Amino acid sequence: MPNNICNFFLFPLANPNKMQRYLKKAEKKLSRSCQNIKNEVVKKRGFNFVSQHLGLWTQRAHFGALEKKAQRDVRISAECNLCGKCVRICPMKNLKITDRRIVQLDQCTLCYRCVNQCPQKAITVLVHTQVKKQYQGIVGLLK
Ligand code: SF4
Ligand code: SF4
């Protein structure tokens, strides 16, 4: 998911070379995991004390509040030309065009689809810095 969030400095979109390296590593991991499954070897990661507490205090403790805030924190800038793309692609049907403007229905799940696909880079959710690059899937990153 962090690759999806295109306008937050902690999650910069990876460049094509980096993506190739990540994909190679992921393939190796996958093949190791498959081998382990085949050999009935059980490997667990992230279940030690430190990992569990890191997950609890850096992620789980805050994520609920963030999600709640995000539900109603969609902003549309003056660049919006009312093309309606965000309305069509929102999986939550959270956006609609009313009185020549986009309105939100407080159902956002922070998927970032609208942010990444708005042709005007006019829509932001929760993080309201200028959108520079947009995530276009793995294929887009490899271009
Ligand atoms: S996709 Fe962008 S430009 Fe089109 S209606 Fe939505 S916010 Fe406006
Ligand atoms: S981030 Fe996803 S759920 Fe939220 S308004 Fe945009 S498309 Fe809809």
pLDDT per residue over 110-133, tens digit each?
Answer: 999 999 999 999 999 999 999 988
At which residue do the structure tokens 């667990």 appear?
44
Q: CA 85, CA 7: separation in Å to the nearest integer? A: 19
* Structural domain of 41: 2-142
SS3 77: coil
- CATH number, domain at 93? 3.30.70.20
From the CB of 82, is ligand 1 less than 6 Å away? yes
d(CA 88, CA 123): 14
Q: Which of 6, 113, 126 to mutate to test the pocket of ligand 2 (most atoms within 8 A of CB)?
A: 113
123: CA distance to ligand 1 center in Å?
7
Could you read off the pLDDT of 46-70 as tens digits, one per residue? Answer: 788 888 888 888 878 888 888 899 8
The count of domains in the chain is: 1
Q: Which of 87, 88, 117, 120 is nearest to 104 (CA)?
A: 87
Helix (H, G, I), strand (E, B) or coil at 74: strand
Greatest mean pLDDT among 51-65, 91-105, 127-141 lies in: 91-105
Integer Cα distance of 22 and 101 in angstroms: 40
Q: Name the residue of 7, 68, 109 to mutate for ligand 2: max ligand atoms within 8 A of Cβ.
A: 109
CA distance 114 to 107: 13
